[in-house]
Amino acid sequence: MTDVVVLSDDHGNPIGTAEKATVHTANTPLHLAFSCYVQNPDGQLLITRRALSKRTWPGVWTNSACGHLAPGETAAEAVIRWVPHELGIPAIDAPECILPDFRYRAVDSSGIVEWEICPVFRAQIPTATINPTPDEVDSYHWVEPGDLFAAIDATPFAFSPWMVEQLGHQKLRDALVS
Which amino acid type is present at position 37?
A: Y
- Contact between 119 and 37 (Cβ < 8 Å): no
What residues form DSSP beta bridges with 18? 5
- Residues with Cβ within 8 Å of 85's Cβ and at least 6 positions away in sequence, in order, are 1, 133
Q: Is 86 annotated as a binding residue?
A: yes
> What is the distance, to the nearest Å, from the Cα of residue 88 to the centroid of all Cα atoms in its chain?
15
Residue 2 has pLDDT above 80, yes or no: no
**Cα–chain center distance at 107:** 16
Model confidence at 133: pLDDT above 70: yes
85 marked as part of a ligand binding site: no
Q: Are 50 and 60 in contact (CB under 8 A)?
A: yes
Which residues make Cβ contacts (< 8 Å) with residue 159, sequence separation at least 6?
60, 61, 62, 151, 152
Average pLDDT of the residues in 86-102:
93
Give 90's pLDDT tier (boundaries 50, 70, 90): confident
Q: What is the rounded average pLDDT for all residues in the chain?
A: 95
- pLDDT above 90 covers a percentage of the chain that reads 90
* Residue numbers of the domain that contains 67: 4-176
Active-site amino acid positions:
66, 116
Please check the confidence at residue 154 and state whether its pLDDT lies above 70: yes
Number of structural domains, the chain? 1
Q: Which residues pair with 160 in a beta bridge?
A: none
Which residues have a Cβ under 8 Å from the Cβ of 163 and sit 6 or more positions away?
A: 35, 61, 62, 63, 152
pLDDT at 85 over 70: yes
CATH number of the domain bearing residue 139: 3.90.79.10
**CB contact at 8 A, 108 and 56:** yes
